[in-house]
Structure 1
Amino acid sequence: MLKLSGVTRRYGDAVALDGLDFIVPDDTYVSLLGASGSGKTTLLRLIAGFEEPDAGELMLGGERLDGKPPHRRDIGFVFQNFALFPHLSVEENVAFGLRHRESKAVPAGSDLNDRVNAALDLVGLTGFGHRGVGEISGGQKQRVALARTLVTEPRIVLLDEPLGALDANLRARMCDELRAIRERLKVSFLHVTGSETEALTMGDTVAVLANGRIAQAQDSTSLFTQPANTAAARHLNAWNLIGGRVKGRTLDTAVGALPISQSLPDGSEAQLAVRFDQIGVCEPDQVPAGQDHFTARYLAGEFNGPTELSFFRADNGDLIQVVNHLSNPRLPDLTEGRTYALHFSPDAALLFEGAA
């Protein structure tokens, strides 16, 4: 198990990680989701030993990591840009870590060849060992980088945006392959990404990194359907957030007074969250009974294959998004510039205390 306790990392006056607590259990795939600049790569670099924390401690399998040099941590790192040696062949790249590590180095010979070939077979590159790095595709380079990491049998594998350089179809295939490889090896993967879709697809557990701390860490279904705070909801890119001040059992917002399900102190700030796919659209005088609603002006639609994303502008200028699944369409034909009622079930709304 990897455990980080109170980890802080500063760069001058900027705080990248702020007393962060985080656990990666054994034999699991954890996705770490965060926006650009949120500290995701900094966190990986601290775990790998490329940087040291200003405060806190890192433990792996009960052993203290901070203070140890990278090559003594028994941690694998797969870089976004692959970081392969261009002058070496595929098999030489994979063998490099085994041949040159400080302890238990494996010299050239049949044992080295067997282990390299087994690693290439694991990532689906049997027969590619003799090729140059410049002779293979981006997806194959990613597999080589993964094989080079796995061949050393690390206790945990860190993946820094590993699919970012690949096209959409290849990313989808590599998602399946990475999960299958991890399950066969029974080693933990910590996969950093800025894509909510990739994080939810890959992780047994998905952790959201925001403001230097873990905002929420949970299984993907629970995280998506029940984010615990505004930071988690915002990073999932599936929830509309409507801010206001509490007045009795309503939230006084720029789009009107909206009922709330729980009692909060009058005058306190709160955010109402409604998921993109749980909002309906109708004429202002045709709101279904029992539905909460507000009005907004339709801007445009974005076709995404099986879904269409519709954009609305609320009276306060906020952008509201609504998803329509085309296999089961539920929205009427919309006219740009026209005002509609956006309605939702009271049970579909989540309430978060505090400002956005």
Structure 2
Amino acid sequence: MTSVLELTGLVKTYGDTRALDGLSVSLPENQYISLLGPSGSGKTTLLRVIAGFEKLESGAIRFAGSQINATPPHRRGIGFVFQNFALFPHLTVQENIAFGLANREADALTDAREISDRVRSIIDLVGLSGLETRAVTQISGGQKQRVALARTLVTEPKMVLLDEPLGALDANLRSRMRHELREIRERCGVTFLHVTGSETEALAMGDTVLVLDRGRIAQKDKSDAVYSRPISADVARFLNCYNLFSGRIEGDALITAVGTLPLAGLRQPAASPAYAIRHDRISVCALSEQAQPDEVRPDEVRIEGRFLAEEYTGSAIYSFFALDDGAVFEVETHLSHRSRQTLEPQSRYALVWKKEDALVYA
């Protein structure tokens, strides 16, 4: 697969903080790429470095086959969609979109008909027909998002950077815009690099998902691989869908504060031992229905916890338990797969999963 962007050894510091710490990655062309990471991991810094808004201490950026470290932002051929949209409030939808064509430093268009034709084409592409003469103060958040994207796409960039583009939208609109952004990208045939702090958004949108941790790429893979096989305990933690245990390994078991966990399943190399089990891989059983510890099936793992509370989302229930060491343990039950259980607050339950469903870092 052809790369559109190659980053090698990027270092960017702010005082004593290394926002980018020798980051290297190659991004394929014509894909939707999600960049996921916790707050402070360097996500926005990376976008701004690629766009040329921030200067590197060291490292190389190659875009479309050429090194662009010294190339000014407006000559890189890379579009940028800001989190707050950065629209001109005194201009109409059409005027906002046309602004870059008529006012850019290089190859500014002067032919009004050509500008009008290109703006009309991009308005149709992003679904803004009928709103051309509206002030941007008179349109919805989702429509503002499309205007910001259209203003970037009309200049025909080879790559588009999106900094938390759905963060300012309500939940229903975010869900709809996910689908629309992917469709628009496919019609344009350019690479989108979409920064988000939401694991759900990153997995839903990315053909490829990058996980950023402390200024470096911790994992790069397809979304289903990142979700099912996070490469480290830190990545599993960022995904917010795994319960994690630490401890020491003795033989074929991890000794933890809540008991002995037999080791099986997928193993990943790691500096410190850790054990992860996904929230939706766990069953909750009444103690009276569950075998005693010495009678547990050989392919299962069992611990106990005190039920605290649950959260109902319509399609699923998230149940929270306190383990004997005080840690909170989460179980996700999809109601299309199982009937809803009635759990008694403060009562103890067995939490059971298959050994092979766990991920072991050791």
Which TM-score band applies after superposition, normalised by the shorter structure? over 0.9
2 CA distance for matches of 1:78 and 1:338?
Answer: 50
Aligned to 1:314: 323
Partner of 2:352 in structure 1?
343
Cα shift at 1:263: 12
1:296 maps onto 2:299 in alignment? no
Partner Cα distance (1:102, 1:221) in 2: 42
- How far apart are 1:283 and its partner, in Å? 2.7
Q: What does residue 199 of structure 2 align with?
A: 196
- Which of 218, 234, 249 is the aligned partner of 1:215? 218
| One-letter amino acid matched to 1:347 | E
Q: Which residue of 2 aligns with 1:283?
A: 286
1:330, CA displacement in angstroms? 5.6
Contact 1:91–1:129 under 8 Å retained in 2: yes
1:85 and 1:328, CA in 2 relative to 1: closer, same or farther beyond 3 A? Answer: same
Counterparts of 1:33-182 in structure 2, within 5 Å, are: 33-182=36-185
Work out whether 1:273 is the aligned partner of 2:276. Answer: yes
Which is further off, 283-292 or 145-154? 283-292
Q: 1:134 to 1:331 in 2, by over 3 A?
A: closer
Tell me the SS of whatever aligns to 2:247: strand
* Structure 2: tracts of 5 or more residues without a match: none
Percent of paired sites with the same residue: 53
Q: Secondary structure at the match of 1:227?
A: coil
Question: Equivalents in 2 of 1:79, 1:102: separation in Å?
Answer: 20
3-state SS in 1 of match to 2:287: coil
2:265/2:358 contact within 8 Å kept: no
- SS at the partner of 2:346? coil
Q: Which residue does the alignment assign to 1:16?
A: 19
User: How high is the TM-score relative to the length of structure 1?
Assistant: 0.95
Alignment-derived partner of residue 352 in structure 1: 361
1:45 Cα shift?
0.3
Q: Give the distance between the partners of 1:168 and 1:262, measured in 2 at CA.
A: 36
Task: Give the distance between the partners of 2:6 and 2:39, measured in 1 at CA.
Answer: 24
Identify the residue that residue 243 of structure 2 maps to in structure 1.
240
Question: Contact 1:246/1:269 (CA < 8 Å) preserved in 2?
Answer: no
Superimposed CA distance per residue, residues 19-64 of structure 1 (whole angstroms, 9 cap, x where no aligned partner): 1112211101100011122111000000000001112111101111
Q: Name the CA shift for 1:124/1:186 in 2 (closer, same or farther; >3 Å).
A: same
Detail structure 1 runs of 4+ shifted over 3 Å in the superposition: none
- What is the match of residue 258 of structure 1? 261
Q: TM-score, normalised by structure 2?
A: 0.93
2:336 aligns to what? 327
- Find the residue that maps to 1:232 and give its secondary structure: helix
Q: Alpha-carbon deviation of 1:328?
A: 2.1
Q: Deviations over 1:148-176 (max 9, x none)?
A: 00000001000001111111111111111
CA distance in 2, matches of 1:340, 1:331: 15
| Contact residue 265 and residue 359 of structure 2 kept, 8 A | no
Q: Kindly report the root-mean-square deviation, in angstroms, between the aligned alpha carbons of the 2 structures.
A: 1.6
